[in-house]
Amino acid sequence: MTTCVSVGTGRDRTERPVGAARSCALIAPTIALAACSLAVASAPATRPASGAAAEAFRMLDRNGDGKITRDELPRPVLFGMMDRNRDGEVTPAEAAAVMGRLMPGATSRPAAAGPAVAMDKHLNLRYATVEGVDPNLLSLDVYAPKAARNCPVMVMIHGGGWRMGDKSNPAVGQSKAAHFVAAGCIYVSVNYRLTPAVQHPVHVQDVAKALAWVDANIARYGGDPKRIIIMGHSAGAHLAALVATDERRLKAEGRDLGIVKGVVLLDGAGYDVPRQIAAAGAVLRGMYEAAFTKDLAAQRDASPITHVAAGKGIPPFLILYVASRPDAADQSNRLADALRKAGVRAEAIPCQGKNHMTINQDIGAPGDKPTAAIMDFLRGLTVATRPAN
């Protein structure tokens, strides 16, 4: 039994379950492959290394021949990035080389796995409908403690360079849900439309729609709409920061920044998009320009730092970043400085011994310092939780 105070009444909006079996068969291994580094540079070109990412490779390699073809991975942009020699086939080594450049220092360590936690799962709830768009991209998953009543709500926004990722990935789905549910929270993992099908501002517009849905509906699942916190990793950190600073996005959904009580950012580096593009190499520059175009005005509009100002009701920020990533350190500290100058509570914390993947995957692991910082931040927001371990 979860110990929370009595349930409140939330505004209601109809939600519909979405069958995502068709897309999940492709999405899950694709995202696992892309979001984890396939640390196989020294492995034979036809044999993946062990680990979660290698398992994703094997799932995509349906005929088991040690390489992936366009038919097996019908995602032209991702396939083109990985097929470095343009021979129409992707080997584990090619995939590893590209992901190593996109996510320096990443490893294929699996997401933190704690003890089994009893919870109610409400999967593939649609928060918006757009004709011709896969419903999975406009859906979210809700994980709730058994008999939840008026619990704080943690909303997670996945990363993936604005072009890949999925709410059901273990590191943003079940694994994090186990930690936050054990701590007495409702945990929500959201999807949004992806580049190249869309560009800014569609990603953040979708996130705003998801938050409006949570605000309207989460009380039905035992959550308190007055205690919504958002968290994002990588590209998801950018979107969390943007939706919490650019008030136009929630206003378009009939809400304001006041529905967000706190923001947790995990190793983002896109808080000032033009600055990041100027310092990026060709691969990263292409990723940013694909999402935000080459137009400087659009890039500035997509930058959370552009929208930081006093008197807007911007919520407190906890900004965690990998200590060894110079661009993440620069962007994180500049955003924290801008927030503080605007009178917003903000703290940027370098995380030693982490890389771009493990700072996210390890949330919930016993003794994990970023996890402790997050829970301290929640307690500082008077978002009451109980120890998860």
How do residues 171-188 score in pLDDT, each as one tens digit? Answer: 999 899 999 999 999 999
Catalytically annotated residue among 139, 168, 189, 234:
234
C-alpha distances out from residue 67 to 63, 71, 311, Å: 9, 11, 54
- State the average pLDDT over residues 313-342: 97
Tokens of 106: 């990443």
Give the pLDDT of residue 80. 78
Give the pLDDT of residue 70. 84
Selected residue with higher pLDDT from 161 and 107: 161
Q: Which of the four pLDDT bands, split at 50, 70 and 90, describes residue 383?
A: low
Q: Which residue has the tokens 């009939």?
A: 254
Selected residue with higher pLDDT from 167 and 37: 167
Give the pLDDT of residue 7. 27
> Does the pLDDT value for residue 388 go beyond 60?
no
Tokens of 72: 């097996």
Q: Which of the four pLDDT bands, split at 50, 70 and 90, describes residue 317?
A: very high
pLDDT in tens, 106-160: 444 555 655 578 999 999 999 999 999 999 999 999 999 999 999 999 999 999 9
CA dihedral 354→348→253→190, nearest 10 degrees, is 10
User: Could you give the percent of the chain with pLDDT greater than 90?
Assistant: 66
List alpha helices for 103-201, DSSP H.
174-182
Q: Give catalytic status of residue 234 as yes or no.
A: yes
Q: Which of the four pLDDT bands, split at 50, 70 and 90, describes residue 15?
A: very low
Give the pLDDT of residue 140. 98
- State the average pLDDT over residues 214-233: 98
- State the average pLDDT over residues 205-226: 98
Tokens of 112: 């933190």
Give the pLDDT of residue 260. 98
Q: Say whether the peptide bond before residue 201 is cis (omega within 30 degrees of 0).
A: yes
- State the average pLDDT over residues 343-372: 97
Q: Which residue has the tokens 């700072």?
A: 359
Tokens of 33: 């492959």
List, in sequence order, every residue forming a beta bridge with 155; answer none if it has no partner. Answer: 188, 230
Conformational region of residue 78, where left means phi above 0, alpha means psi within -120 to 50, and beta covers everything else? alpha
Selected residue with higher pLDDT from 86 and 361: 361
CA neighbor of 216 nearest in space, from 128, 333, 145: 128
CA neighbor of 166 nearest in space, from 17, 302, 363, 26: 26
Contact 211, 260 (CB under 8 A): yes
Give the pLDDT of residue 50. 36
Give the pLDDT of residue 386. 55
Q: Which of the four pLDDT bands, split at 50, 70 and 90, describes residue 77?
A: low
Give the pLDDT of residue 163. 95
Q: Own/partner pairs for 327-332, CB < 8 Å, 24+ apart?
A: 327/269, 327/276, 327/279, 327/280, 328/267, 328/268, 328/269, 328/356, 330/275, 331/268, 331/269, 331/270, 331/271, 331/272, 331/275, 331/276, 332/265, 332/268, 332/269, 332/271
Question: How do strand 151-157 and strand 223-233 relate by DSSP bridges?
Answer: parallel
CA neighbor of 229 nearest in space, from 318, 112, 302: 318
Provide the CB-side half-sphere exposure for 374 (13 A, CA): 30
- State the average pLDDT over residues 48-69: 63
H/E stretch holding 100 reads helix 92-102
Selected residue with higher pLDDT from 23 and 288: 288
User: Could you give the percent of the chain with pLDDT greater than 70?
Assistant: 76
Q: What are phi and psi of 171, to 5 degrees?
A: -70, -15
- Show the domains of the chain with their CATH numbers: 21-102 (1.10.238), 119-380 (3.40.50.1820)
Contact 45, 93 (CB under 8 A): yes
Burial class (CB in 10 A: 0-12, 13-18, 19+), 349: middle
| 3-class SS of residue 234 | coil
C-alpha distances out from residue 267 to 83, 103, 111, Å: 27, 11, 16
Contact 169, 32 (CB under 8 A): yes
